[in-house]
Structures are given as structure tokens and as C-alpha cells.
Structure 1
């Protein structure tokens, strides 16, 4: 036997590696599909409303019903995945996604469609943290984990930014119902392959679920998302907006009080006290809020100011999606060279610098090429920040708490997506005068400023475990 024979992988090792790669493909496909669901119905809403009999005022509930459940239950299901099995939770969620999507595609009245959107939101809350924790426990902390998290972040961001374009194409070419039927096909494929390739390490001990904490934080998150989405629809002064947000703040405080007193808390206070967990997730919320909300003023600019159609605007955002994919691919290298914390700071600064020129857009079509260039650069930088926060927020977390850690990551992501757009909408409305353009300019300028503030917060407050600070 030669030295080369000893170094070459055995047939068994090759089979394990092949199964691991297929498992990664399955998990990333599921996450991409769920990210697309956040935005795929945007263009289709008027068509759905006219066909199923939604009033204009109630159309927003097609999106809100999904967002409420996706964000509100993600922390709960992330912890349940830790306790009862991530693979099991992933498969249950995919099954629910398939059934809910089939019902939605066949819906003939508003009640059925809204019920199915609730099912899709719950499926998202089950699948996303379970899939992410399966990925993080599949690879040790280091370059391999950073690469797979980079791919995950890239595909999820690309799914959100390209969902609107895909929804527009499907609605125009076939029917809005295919925005749901595609999920059914993907769910069936995943359910066939996933049980074979996914492995989940069983917990040595199954602690009790913190029911009071779970109920409190879930209600708090639902109220927070409801208040924010209502603010986007009706303005921030309405009691239906600030009332639920205030109630959510009170419940969050009560949740922290509960967690400090129960024997087996849903979220250990010691975990929240880790600066890489707390400030990592804060950075993630800001990263998702800034980039996804930028789509709103840019959509108004492209269609209302420059007069482009929905399909053209969608293709421009698809170009932004390509930038985010590339950013996810280069993120591990950037993190490896600059260090995790420095990479996040640099990413936020570059994102802010790329966004700032758009605060000076005019009604000239000559701005299209600069817009394509700077949004591409900003999208790349944003994904470096997103991958960085994901790595930071899972660093040093024991395997038995990875579902909770990834639940926090998913919650930050989804709340960030929900928060950003109503804020940008309120700014555009407040500063629009004779046209929308002044409001669009101010909103984009504030978006860029938030990126710079995010960089400063990360630089000052983010602290990584000493032994892992430069691992990427």
C-alpha cells in the first residue's frame, strides 16, 4: 500500500461526501423556495383580487397573513427543532408547505387562500431554522461552514429580490396559481430525497419546552409584525399600528422576565448576553431591512418616475439578485482575509457608499446604468454582511442549541424584511411634494445612512469569542 492509497478517500467516504453534498442542495433549495415566497405575489395581487373577490383594502392580507406566521413562530419552531429533531421538523414543514401551496393554487375564495397563506407562513417558520441548523451542525466552525452559509445567504437574498420578477412572468405567461403550484412540485421532490440524505444527531436529553416563554414571545412577534405592516398600509399614527407595537414591547420585556426565572428557558439569558449573538442578530436585522426595503423606493422610481413597466423593473431587480448571489459566493473569502468583524464593517460601509449616489437620482433615463452598477455593488456587499452575521451568530453555540441560534437568525431576517419597507414607505410619503421623487431621494439617503450607522454599531459593540474571532 502506497502513501497515495492512504490519502485517497475510500469508497465509503466518497459516498458520505456525495450524500452530504446532496443534503446541502436539498436544504438550500428549500430555503430559496421559501425566500421566493416572500415576494412572488407582489405583481400578482391585483389579479388574485379580481379573480377571488378580494377588496382592495384586504389585498394586503395575502402578504400579511404569511409574514405574521413566518416571523411570529420562527423562534418557537427553532427551539422545537432542537428538542424533537431538526430533520423531523424540516420534513413536517416541507409537507405543510406542499399541502398549503396546493390548496392556495386551487383556492376559489378569499378565506381558503388566506388560510393556505397561514399554512405557508407556519411552514416557513418550521423549515427555515431547521434547515439552517442542519447546515450549521453538518459542518464545524471554519471555512466549510462559512462557504455553505454564504451559499445559503446568497440564495435566500436572491430568492427575495427575484421573486417579484418570477411572479410577474408566471402571472403574465400562465396564471398566478403557478406561483403556488411550483412549491408543490419542489415539496414533493424534497420529501422524496430528504429522508435519504439528511441526518440529524439525536439529543442526549430532551428538556421540557418553555411553554409560557414560547407563547409570550410568539404573541409579541405577531403583534410586532402586525403593527409594522399596518403602519405601512395606514400610517404610523393610527392606533392599529403603534398600539400592537407598544403591546409587543411590553410582552418582550415580560418574556425576558420569564426566561430569567424558568429552569429550562426557551432562550437562555446567558445566550442573549453573548455579544456575538445579540449584536450579530441586530446587524442581521439591519442588513435585511436596508437591502430589501431599498426595493420599494427603487420600484417607485423605475415605474412612477421613469415610466418603466413591471417586467422591466423586475429584470433590473433580477440584476440586483445576481449581485447578491455573487456576494454570497465571495463572502467566505472576504471574511477569511479581513476577519469576521472587519468584513461586516467593510460590507456595511460599501453598501452605504453604493446606495448613497441613488439619493441624487433625477427623472432622466441616464440614471439607469449608474443604478445597475451601484445596486449590483450594494447587493454584493449586503450579502457579505448577511453571511458575516450568520457566522457570528452561530459561533461558539453548542450543537444542542443550534436550532435556537438559527431560529434567532431567521427571526432577525424575517423581522428585518417586514420592518424595512413600511419605514421607507412612510419616509417617501412624508417627503413627497409635487411628485414622488423628493420622497424617494430622502428615503434612499436615509437607507444609506442606516448602513453607515450599522457599520459603526458592529465596529463598537460586536465581540466574538476569543478563540473563534478570526475563524472563517
Structure 2
């Protein structure tokens, strides 16, 4: 049996679509995993490749810049040349880049491999989400599929910390890259067998100048936000990059208004659910990346946990996220999409506020287990429903673009949250240390401010979600 998706150019084998979803989600798992698994390996990696602290930061930044900067282009390429084709190209590139990173014998080789990983992920992620929306056109099934998607993302976030510690300790830093290779190969074999080839719509001319300007603008803004963490917000580098981002962004809008085949039809933002959903994704991303960064540092630098214990301590959060992501579709059917999203965001904010009260000598069961479970519950509901809101009402021919927008919003939010909330925590810690407060207590207070800031951002997301209404007009 063959199912025709909303786009007239794409067909999938519906009899095995849930199995196909599992392999699409597995590929997305690699993208999420790679955002965190490298962190634990950085000290060992830096020692063996003789990399300075500044150079080590580029191991993360090279991936983030390429990924965030090319996501919209990747989504549009999927719409133009076939979602399955672009997905497979992105997955193959990710596997090759991971192997190259594992074999790296110099910092230059490693950074080039990380940039290639980011470029490949920018093809993989939006095309995978576009394929999901076409495999599951019915709202009920799509909600269930996004529940699976959200659960896998939660596992990837927690598994990155856990696997990073285990693999680095047992097999060396190279293993955090090599682990992607067999999983990626499995995806490359399975997906062509389960999802039929879609007809490319390459008859329309690709908007080259639009691609150049928006890619440059996204790279500049993500680079500026990443630079804030290293040199401060008033340094000429982030300020200059922000100016470049604004100029290129303005040029992009002017180009899109004039071209016959725009890379991003600006009218897509008149889809109310898409615009609001992406803003919510940005805000949730801002709070959550800062949270996971601070929680990991707090557990190791203040509470004295080792890398493995830190990873294990985050499993309850990930477990709660996975369970809730699985039951969200039923909640959406009963309560509606927007009420479920708002409720999830408020639960998430409550968990963050609770976590802000954790002391410098916190016990895991007494002070951390409760709030992290609440955070997992809220995050599981928020991630699934915000993603569904972002892709609802989007025409099939723009599914790849919608996937690119969701991932772009998450990446920009992540960079923004880490830059702003991380700076707030750092400034508070430095002020208390200068006043004579002991370092553990000063760091704890700084992280407390970060958690409260993340809660405020999450509440802002709930307010924004309140403006969503269905159906939306285009």
C-alpha cells in the first residue's frame, strides 16, 4: 500500500511507516547526542591534541556555526531536490565526518571534521522532520509520531553526558565520534528500504543570493552569541558580528521580496501556528541548553560528582521526558494542543524555580530528584507540542523549510540562552567571590540566578503560546 503525503511529489510506504519513523528518529538522536557527548571528552582531547582552552571552545563552536547557519538552506534543499535524497546525503556526510573526527591527529583536522558534521546535520535534521510530517499527515498520528521524536531527543540529551563519560574513560576520546558510524550506517541501509524515493521539484530555480545572505546572517548571529561566552558582550567581535547579521538579514528580506522563487517565502510566517511555535521553540531552547550546561557544571564543580555520576543523575529527568512524550498525544486530543503546551511550560518553569533553591551541599534525593523530574515532565510536553505547533498548517511543499525553521529556532535559542544566562551566572558568581563568599556558595548562587532566568524565559514562552489559535490563516 502506498500513502500519498500532503505534498503531491512525495510517497511513502505506509505499511511500515512506524518502523521508518524509528530510523528517522535514530538519525535525529545522533544530531542531539553530538551536541553534548563531546563536552565530557574535551579535557582529554585537548591534552592529547595540545589544544588550548580557546581552541577547545571551537570544537563546539565549529559544529554549532555550521549547523545553525545552514539549517534553512538544508530545509529548502530538501523541498527542492527530495527529502529522502537530502536526508541520505546528510546522514552519509555525518557518518563520514564522524569517522574523520575520530581519526583526527591534529586540531585543524578535528575542527574541519566538526564543521563538516554541522553541515551534514543541517541537511539531515530538517529533511528528517519533513519526512515525518509526510509519513503522518493525520493530526492524531502526527502527534504520536512527534511524541516518539521528543522522547528520542530527550534520551539523546541525557545520553550525551552519560555516554561521553563512559566512552572516553573506556575507549578514549575518539570513541565519542566513532559511535556515530555504525548507527549512521544502519540508518543509511534501512531508510531507502522503508521510504520510497520522492520526486524532486528542482524545476524551480534555487534562490542562490537568498541562500548566501541568510546563511551568512545565521552564521554571524550564532557566532556573535557564541563569542559572548568567551569575550563578553561589549567586545568588538560579537558587536561586529551582530552588525553583520543585521545587514545580511536586511539584504535577505529585500531579496526574498523580489525573487520569483524565494528560499524562504515570507508569507509562511503568516501561518500563525508556525510563527508562534518557532518563537516558543526558541525560548525553550534558550532555557534548556543553559540549564543542562549549568546542571552538569554544578554537579561536578560544586557537588563533586564525577562524569559518570553526573550522567547517571540526569537519567530520571530523561526518563520522565520520555514517558511524558509518549502520553502527550492523548493529552492533546483531550485538552487541545495549546492548553497542553502552556501547561507543560508552566510545569517546566516550576521545576526550574524549585531547582534554584538547591544549596551548595545538596543531596540528590533531597534537593535534586524532585525538581529534575518536574523539569523532565514539563520539557517532554513542551518539546513535542511546540514542534507540532510549528509544523501544523504548513503545506507539504514547504515541509522541509518548516523543519529547517524549527531547528534554526532551537539553535539560535540555545546560543542566546547560553550567552545571556551564562553571563548572568558568571557575573553573579564573580561579584560574590570578590565580596569574600566561598567559591562553592558563590557558584551555587550564580547557578540559582541562571535557573530563575531560565524559568522566566519559559514563562515568557507560555505567554507567547497563549496567542496561538487554530486553525491559522495563511
TM range (shorter): over 0.9
CA distance 1:249–1:328, shift in 2 (3 Å): farther
Q: Paired residue for 1:462?
A: 468
- Structure 1 regions of 5+ residues with no counterpart? 1-8
How many residues get paired? 455
Alignment of 1:96 onto 2:93: yes
Alignment of 1:173 onto 2:180: no
Contact 1:42–1:167, Cα closer than 8 Å, also in 2: yes
CA distance in 2, matches of 1:306, 1:214: 46
CA distance in 1, matches of 2:365, 2:59: 32
Mapping of residues 365-380 of structure 1, within 5 Å: 365-366=362-363, 368-380=365-377
Alignment of 1:30 onto 2:27: yes
Mapping of residues 292-303 of structure 1, within 5 Å: 292-303=289-300
Matched position secondary structure for 2:356: helix
Match of 2:458 among 448, 451, 455: 451
Alignment of 1:238 onto 2:235: yes
Match of 1:229 among 226, 230, 234: 226
1:334 positional shift = 1.8
Contact 1:70–1:122, Cα closer than 8 Å, also in 2: yes
CA distance 1:176–1:205, shift in 2 (3 Å): closer
Match of 2:340 among 339, 343, 366: 343
1:136 positional shift = 0.4
CA distance in 2, matches of 1:200, 1:249: 39
CA distance in 2, matches of 1:366, 1:314: 16
Q: Paired residue for 1:251?
A: 248
Structure 1 vs Structure 2 CA RMSD = 2.0
Contact 1:161–1:292, Cα closer than 8 Å, also in 2: no
Q: Paired residue for 1:326?
A: 323
Higher deviation after alignment, 194-203 or 76-85: 194-203
Contact 2:213–2:252, Cα closer than 8 Å, also in 1: yes
What is the TM-score of this pair, normalised by structure 1? 0.92
Deviation string for 1:37-71 (max 9, x for gaps)? 00101010011111112122211111110010111
Q: Paired residue for 1:141?
A: 138
What is the TM-score of this pair, normalised by structure 2? 0.92
Higher deviation after alignment, 107-116 or 313-322: 313-322
Q: Paired residue for 2:446?
A: 439
Q: Paired residue for 1:84?
A: 81
Higher deviation after alignment, 87-96 or 308-317: 308-317
CA distance 1:302–1:18, shift in 2 (3 Å): same
1:247 positional shift = 2.0
CA distance 1:280–1:200, shift in 2 (3 Å): farther
Mapping of residues 122-161 of structure 1, within 5 Å: 122-161=119-158
CA distance in 1, matches of 2:334, 2:59: 44
CA distance in 2, matches of 1:347, 1:164: 24
CA distance 1:59–1:387, shift in 2 (3 Å): same
1:466 positional shift = 5.2
CA distance 1:79–1:355, shift in 2 (3 Å): same
Q: Paired residue for 1:411?
A: 408
Mapping of residues 299-310 of structure 1, within 5 Å: 299-310=296-307
CA distance 1:463–1:252, shift in 2 (3 Å): farther
CA distance in 1, matches of 2:304, 2:341: 36
- Structure 2 regions of 5+ residues with no counterpart? 3-11
CA distance in 1, matches of 2:119, 2:473: 37
